Amino acid sequence: MYICICKAITDKQLEDAHKAGKTFKEACRLLGIGSECGTCLTDAWENLKRSQNQRQEQKSE
Ligand code: FES
pLDDT given for residue 20 in this prediction:
96
Ligand 1 mutation pick, 1, 2, 4, max ligand atoms within 8 A of CB: 4
Q: Enumerate helices (H) and strands (E) in the chain, giving the number of each.
A: 3, 2
Q: Which domain holds residue 8?
A: 2-60
* Rounded CA separation 56/47 (Å): 14
pLDDT given for residue 56 in this prediction:
86
Residues with CB under 6 A from ligand 1: 4-7, 33-40
State the distance from the centre of ligand 1 to the C-alpha of 9, rounded, in angstroms: 9
pLDDT given for residue 61 in this prediction:
79
**pLDDT tens-digit readout, 6-56:** 999 999 999 999 999 999 999 999 999 999 999 999 999 999 999 889 888
Q: 53: domain CATH number?
A: 1.10.10.1100
Per the structure, how many domains does the chain have? 1
